Amino acid sequence: MRVLLLVLVALGLLGASAEPQSRFDNGLALAPPMGWNDYNAYGLQVNEQVIRDAADRLVGSGLRDAGYVYVNIDDAWMAADRDANGNLQADPDRFPHGIRALADYVHARRLRLGIYEDAGVKTCAGLPGSLGHERQDARQFAAWGVDYLKYDSCYAGEGCGQTTCAPVREHYAAMRDALTATGRPIVFSICSWGADRVWAWGAGYGNLWRTTPDIAPTFASLLSVFHANVGLAGYARPGGWNDPDMLEVGNGMTETEDRAELSLWAAMAAPLIAGADLTTASQQTIADLANRDVIAVDQDPLGRPARLLSADGGLDVLVRPLTNGDVAVVLFNETDAAADVSTTVGHGRYTMRNLWEGTTAVTDGTVGAHLPAHGAAMFRLAKG
């Protein structure tokens, strides 16, 4: 039996933040963005029908009403060449009605459309990048009705291959300023895979910044991404978030692992961008993604991510301060064997809700659970 005992004397000890020199303030992403992206399920095989189906499923499944409002198109949506005026154009076979019509379809369902581009000369799939075309492309996105831009970092300049160079900050600044100049509210997602310690300066350039390499639908990948991101809590706050990549919930991990990912991402105030094929996703996957209690922690307006208070032999305790003095606690078992994990948060009387079991109890501040291998438990504690 493994027991962790921590006494958190004051939640204020969680709050020391790294203050960037400047912050990009476009009034957007005051909570971590929530939505869906095609890449994890479809790779480079995206098309118009995939996006329409995802939008319809977000509505029909209840995920839109739970907060998943962005429908994001990833790489491979565009034609191989710009048009005669140098404008980006959608691949005519994959998107025969164009992006403007697709945006209208998405907006009609009270959703928002996201799109993908690259800060280099080519996207990661080898299609036209935005380097040198930032203002033109930003105007195009705004005219199409785009609400979110994921801006990747392949082929960032001379001598840079697909993944060997991240773009210099000036490339991101150029697109940031171009988006601002359009006057349209567009969330700006910097996708630099954690290069050049992006978390230390990303808040001056975008609304979220990728802190890790691409995630894969395995527990080993989940664990690697979690370890890379969890120590960066001090860099995130409303309007600017650490992004440990999209969710793999429903893409082949166990339900225990899926719930662990959602618990950890919510505790870390990470964007919740689903990546499963929603047209074939199980009811359990939909229910897990739609857990309102877990989402409420992720979207908490205080905007302070959890700190990792203990990691004793792969048994982790994360604590996140919430509005109204509430506290979120995640107990996480990284190991391959079941284990007991516990902690003590403050002292006095608390009402404690188990966010996955939906049960409520009274505690003196002690939180504990018997966790399966790769499992997590998530609790919300309210004083009194």
d(CA 285, CA 247): 11
pLDDT, tens digit (0-9, with 9 covering 90-100), for 27-40: 999 999 999 999 99
130: domain CATH number is 3.20.20.70
Q: Give the orientation angle of helix 134-144 with respect to helix 98-108, to 10 degrees.
A: 50
Same-domain pairing of 245 and 279: yes
Task: Work out how many domains the chain is built from and give that number.
Answer: 2
214 is catalytic: yes
User: Does residue 310 share a domain with residue 262?
Assistant: no
pLDDT band at 346 (very low <50, low <70, confident <90, very high): confident
Q: Please identify which of the residues 56, 74, 152, 326 carries the catalytic annotation.
A: 152
23 lies in some domain = no
Give the span between the Cα atoms of 39 and 37, in whole angstroms: 6
Q: How deeply is 227 buried, as exposed, middle or buried, from its count of CB atoms within 10 A (0-12, 13-18, 19+)?
A: middle
Same domain, 187 and 87: yes
> In the listed set 257, 278, 298, which residue is the last one of a domain according to the structure?
298
Checking if the pLDDT of 167 tops 90, the result is no
Q: Are residues 310 and 274 in the same domain?
A: no
Whether residues 219 and 368 fall in one domain: no
Instruction: Report whether 316 contacts 338 (CB < 8 A).
Output: no
Is 354 found in the same domain as 244?
no
Instruction: Tell me: pLDDT of 226 over 90.
Output: yes
In tens, the pLDDT along 102-122 reads 999 999 999 999 999 999 999
pLDDT at res. 22: 77
The answer to the question of residue 225 being in a domain is yes
Residues 342 and 223 in one domain: no
> Are 274 and 333 in a shared domain?
no
Instruction: Classify residue 339: in a domain, yes or no.
Output: yes
Mean pLDDT of all residues belonging to the chain: 93
The answer as to whether 277 is a domain residue is: yes
* Residue 20 in this model has a pLDDT that exceeds 60: no
Phi-psi region of 245 (alpha: psi -120 to 50; beta: other; left: phi over 0): left
Indicate if 41 and 98 belong to the same structural domain.
Answer: yes
For residues 275 and 168, the model is more confident at: 275
Q: Is residue 280 domain-shared with residue 206, that is, in the same domain?
A: yes
In the set 91, 196, 214, 340, the catalytic residue is 214
pLDDT interval class at 196 (50, 70, 90):
confident
Question: Got the DSSP string for 251-307?
Answer: SSS-HHHHHHHHHHHHHTT--EEE-S-TTT--HHHHHHHT-HHHHHHHT-TT----E
pLDDT band at 384 (very low <50, low <70, confident <90, very high): confident
Q: Determine the pLDDT at residue 124.
A: 93
pLDDT for the residue numbered 14: 43
**Is 313 contained in some domain?**
yes
Picking from 298, 330, 348, the residue at the C-terminal end of a domain is 298
CATH of residue 320: 2.60.40.1180
324, part of any domain: yes
Domain final residue, candidates 255, 278, 298: 298
Does residue 180 share a domain with residue 231? yes
Asked if the structure places residue 253 within a domain, the reply is yes
Are both 142 and 12 inside the same structural domain? no
Look at residue 312 and tell me if it is in a domain: yes
Residue 339 structural domain:
7-16+306-383
Helix (H), strand (E), coil (C) string for 26-84: CCCCCCCCEEEECHHHHCCCCCHHHHHHHHHHHHHHCHHHHCCCEEECCCCCECCCCCC
Any idea which of 46-60, 156-170, 310-324 has the lowest mean pLDDT?
156-170
Q: Is 104 a catalytic residue?
A: no
Closest CA to 61 of 246, 279, 234: 279
